[in-house]
Amino acid sequence: MIPNDQKTSLLIPFQLPEFIRDDPNYSNFVLFLQSYYEWLEQTDNVTDRAKNLLSYKDIDETTSEFQKYFINDFVASFPPETSWAIQNKAEVIKLAKQLYQSKGTPSSYKFLFKVLYNSDFDYYNTGDFVLRASAGKWYVPRSLKVQSDDNNWLQLKMWLNLELILKFLFPTSKDCFKQVNLFML
């Protein structure tokens, strides 16, 4: 319903020229125009719909005639013969945005089956159940045992030399030896 401050019918007598407004011969014409605009402002008539047009963009406030346009825009690919079409069209249309944003995820499939068929749905990613032949990390521990009578092996310079020697002997392997043990005789 249109509020009184926005009704055109209340303004009709003031919109007509003064010679028509004040002439008693035109009083029926003024009343006819005013009654016509009052009829246009009644619910579901032209002026009422034009003034409430912005509120029709919300699915909760729209008329049943506009619901079919919402359905065509947002859930056109949903089958119309399912139970959702009769019971909760507005709710499904509201949730369609969430569905489209989460498209392709397990939660979107669960939602879709809940809405369309009113049933729970178990989602299995087949990639989780495939046996891969070389998916494991293969690790072979290697160690190097060095024996020496010299106490200089314990010095830092000698360790640096040992690293250089290992890099020279095994240039292709990275971190070939994870641990080096020293044994004193």
pLDDT tens track for 164-179:
666 666 666 555 555 5
Angle at alpha carbon of residue 123, lines to 120 and 126, rounded to 5°: 160
The full set of domain ranges for the chain reads 4-51, 62-127, 143-184
Query: CA–CA separation, 171 vs 168, rounded Å?
Result: 6
pLDDT tens track for 67-108:
888 888 887 877 666 655 556 777 778 877 777 888 888 888
Measured CA to CA in angstroms, residue 117 lies from 101, 113, 164, 176 at distances of 21, 5, 69, 59
- Is-contact 144 181, C-beta < 8 A? yes
Query: CA–CA separation, 38 vs 49, rounded Å?
Result: 13
Alpha-helical segments (H) within 118-185: 156-169
In the chain, where do the E strands start and end?
143-148, 179-184
What pLDDT score does 28 carry? 92
Burial class (CB in 10 A: 0-12, 13-18, 19+), 18: exposed
Average pLDDT of the residues in 134-150: 65
Q: Give the end-to-end CA distance of the chain in Å, rounded to a whole number.
A: 104
The H or E element that residue 117 is part of is helix 106-117
Residue carrying structure tokens 């809405």: 115
Q: pLDDT band at residue 29, thresholds of 50, 70 and 90?
A: very high
Token pair in block for residue 129: 């159940």
Average pLDDT of the residues in 116-127: 81
Sign of the alpha-carbon dihedral angle for 41, 42, 47, 52: positive
